[in-house]
């Protein structure tokens, strides 16, 4: 008789809500991770995110060994894996943390039904956010679609409970099932080491966040994004700390929850404009131009530096993400879904809610988005945020030699975008 704790995007033993509850169940707990074929099969074999997951599972495994236990790793279709586990073990209860992406919600319903059919209890927990689903709503119970009132309500609610409770899962690890499971190598699961690595997070500059955050050359933002994506840091610990540290930084963590709430309440945003009024825009969608954007050869240094940083490191500074996204949608009139998909493939911190939300913000099609007539001028952005050209020189090696001609002239592209948007908006 055993319980299971199913790790997914919560790859840590500290302050892990679902793990904490599982370790209080009556039965010894088998920690489990499944490399889900539905997700990993479409990835290149050097995908650095799989390497990062593997590395963190290995750390978890090492820690579990201290209490004579280990993590069970499986690869396959989740449903098949669970069917096999049900045959192999006398499972009494299964615990996991909630994931709010549309695919994950469907998968979890399917698995919970399978467990129920086999008379196994399953329990899911809020772990990756402070407030989930419908916890922050307008007075009429409907979801917020504008950030500032969402943030105000979020803060009001947080203050009534601050600091939010943390969960000492770490001190209960002796309740894990005592067995050494085989720990597979990255090659065993069909992947290879990538040169691209997730950077450690860095909270050193958070107290000056408002002064440093917009300057990509400083490179002093927290690098928390990939860690929050895979749950290698706890959002509760982070927010309890950030609350006393810096309001602007805390606001960014609330943006993260805002977009998660939008995705949960309006799952259509994954592929469709949040504002249907923008469905009539005639995108140019030129494939050659898209390639130039992807490769960082548009002739605009700020855009090209950003895309090269992304291609080389799997990361791009937020200010530059805004510039490249605006450039794709407005200057080139390529629909945001193309850019969103490219980011999804490349970003180590790829998070569906934040990526879709920010892309729709840049395209002007999202909730609380930049107005369509606001077209970033990539040269002015560079002057403002990389005045000395330190960032662009870092990523464009040939920069000193005189840089290429812009692929589209700004004033023309700006006017074309405004005319096209105006004509496409459905009244």
> Which parts of this chain interact with ligand FAD (CB under 6 A)?
213, 221-225, 228, 252-253, 255-256, 259, 318, 321-322, 325, 343, 347, 349-351, 354-355, 358-359, 362
Question: In whole angstroms, how close is the CB of 300 to ligand FAD at the nearest point?
Answer: 16
Task: Please indicate if the annotation marks 183 as binding a ligand.
Answer: no
Write the burial class of residue 421 (CB in 10 Å: 0-12 exposed, 13-18 middle, 19+ buried).
Answer: buried
> Pairing relation of β-strands 2-7 and 91-97?
parallel
Could you give the CA distance from residue 393 to residue 400 in angstroms, rounded to a whole number?
8
Q: Alpha-carbon distance 55 to 105, whole Å? A: 26
To ligand FAD, the closest distance from the beta carbon of 287 in angstroms equals 20
- Between 293 and 343, whose beta carbon lies closer to ligand FAD? 343
Query: Smallest gap, in angstroms, from Cβ of residue 217 to ligand FAD?
Result: 14
Q: Is 253 annotated as a binding residue?
A: yes
Instruction: Establish whether 420 is an annotated binding residue.
Output: no
Quote the CA–CA distance of 339 and 358 in Å, as a whole number: 11
Nearer to ligand FAD, 363 or 413 (CB): 363
222 annotated among ligand-binding-site residues: yes
Minimum CB separation of residue 134 from ligand FAD in Å reads 20
Closer to ligand FAD at the Cβ: 82 or 154? Answer: 154
Query: Which of these, 55, 60, 58, lies nearest to 29 by C-alpha position?
Result: 60
21 close to 49: Cβ distance less than 8 angstroms: no
CB of 420 to ligand FAD, least distance (A): 20
Q: How far is the CB of 228 from ligand FAD (least distance, A)?
A: 5
> Nearer Cβ to ligand FAD, position 111 or 322?
322
Tell me if 252 is assigned to a ligand binding site.
Answer: yes
Bridge partners (DSSP) of residue 34 are 74
Q: CB of 292 within 8 A of CB of 407?
A: yes
Pick between residue 222 and residue 313 the one whose CB is nearest to ligand FAD.
Answer: 222
315 annotated ligand-binding residue: no
Listing from the earlier edge strand, what are the strands of the sheet with 2-7?
72-76, 29-36, 2-7, 91-97, 121-125
Closest CA to 335 of 345, 343, 325, 344: 325
User: Would you say 209 is a known binding-site residue?
Assistant: yes
Does 254 show up as a binding residue in the annotation?
Answer: yes
Give the nearer residue to ligand FAD in terms of CB position, either 34 or 328.
Answer: 328
The two three-digit tokens of residue 200, written as one number? 């450690």
225 is in an annotated binding site: yes
Residue with smaller CB distance to ligand FAD, 359 or 372: 359
Cβ of residue 272: shortest distance to ligand FAD, in angstroms?
Answer: 17
Instruction: Please identify, using beta-carbon distances, which residue of 85 and 233 lies nearer to ligand FAD.
Output: 233
Instruction: Give dist(CA 280, CA 300) in Å, integer.
Output: 29
Check whether 238 is labelled as a binding-site residue. Answer: no
Tell me the closest approach of the beta carbon of residue 279 to ligand FAD, in angstroms.
Answer: 20
Tell the smallest beta-carbon distance from residue 264 to ligand FAD (Å). Answer: 14
Output 107 or 256, the one with its CB closest to ligand FAD: 256
Asked whether residue 421 is marked as a ligand-binding residue, the answer is: no
For residue 375, give every residue at least 6 positions away whose Cβ sits within 8 Å of its Cβ, in sequence order, or none: 326, 330, 331, 413, 414, 417, 418
- Binding site residue list for FAD: 209, 221-225, 249, 252-259
- Binding site residue list: 209, 221-225, 249, 252-259
């Amino acid at each position: 008789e055993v319980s299971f704790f199913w790790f997914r995007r919560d790859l840590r033993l500290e302050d892990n809500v679902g793990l904490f509850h599982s370790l209080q169940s009556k039965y010894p707990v088998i920690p489990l991770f499944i490399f889900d074929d539905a997700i990993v099969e479409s990835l290149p074999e050097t995908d650095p995110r799989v390497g990062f997951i593997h590395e963190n599972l290995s750390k978890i495994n090492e820690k579990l060994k201290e209490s004579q236990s280990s993590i069970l790793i499986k690869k396959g279709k989740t449903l098949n894996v669970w069917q096999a586990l049900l045959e192999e073990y006398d499972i009494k209860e299964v615990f996991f943390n909630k994931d709010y992406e549309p695919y994950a919600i469907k998968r979890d319903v399917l698995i919970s039904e399978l467990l129920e059919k086999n008379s196994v209890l399953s329990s899911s927990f809020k772990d990756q956010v402070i407030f989930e689903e419908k916890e922050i709503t307008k007075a009429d119970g409907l979801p917020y679609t504008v950030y500032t009132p969402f943030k105000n309500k979020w803060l009001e609610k947080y203050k009534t409970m601050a600091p939010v409770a943390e969960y000492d899962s770490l001190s209960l690890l002796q309740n894990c099932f005592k067995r050494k499971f085989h720990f597979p190598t990255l090659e065993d699961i069909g992947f290879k080491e990538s040169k691209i690595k997730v950077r450690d997070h860095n909270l050193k500059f958070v107290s000056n966040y408002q002064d440093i955050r917009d300057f990509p050359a400083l490179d002093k933002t927290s690098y928390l994004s990939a860690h929050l994506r895979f749950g290698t840091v706890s959002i509760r610990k982070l927010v309890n700390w950030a609350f006393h540290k810096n309001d602007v930084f805390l606001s960014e963590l609330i943006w993260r929850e805002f977009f998660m709430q939008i995705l949960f309440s309006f799952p259509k945003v994954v592929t469709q404009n949040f504002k249907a009024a923008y469905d009539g825009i005639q995108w140019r969608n030129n494939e050659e131009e898209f390639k130039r954007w992807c490769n960082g050869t548009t002739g605009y240094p700020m855009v090209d530096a950003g895309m090269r940083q992304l291609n080389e490191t799997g990361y791009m500074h937020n200010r530059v993400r805004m510039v490249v996204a605006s450039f794709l949608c407005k200057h080139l009139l390529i629909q945001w879904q193309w850019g969103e998909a490219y980011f999804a493939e490349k970003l180590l911190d790829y998070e569906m809610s934040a990526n879709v939300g920010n892309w729709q913000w840049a395209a002007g099609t999202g909730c609380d988005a930049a107005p369509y007539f606001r077209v970033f001028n990539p040269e002015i952005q560079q002057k403002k945020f990389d005045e000395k050209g330190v960032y662009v020189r870092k990523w464009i090696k040939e920069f000193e030699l005189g840089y290429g001609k812009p692929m589209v002239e700004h004033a023309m592209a700006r006017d074309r975008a405004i005319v096209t948007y105006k004509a496409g908006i459905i009244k």
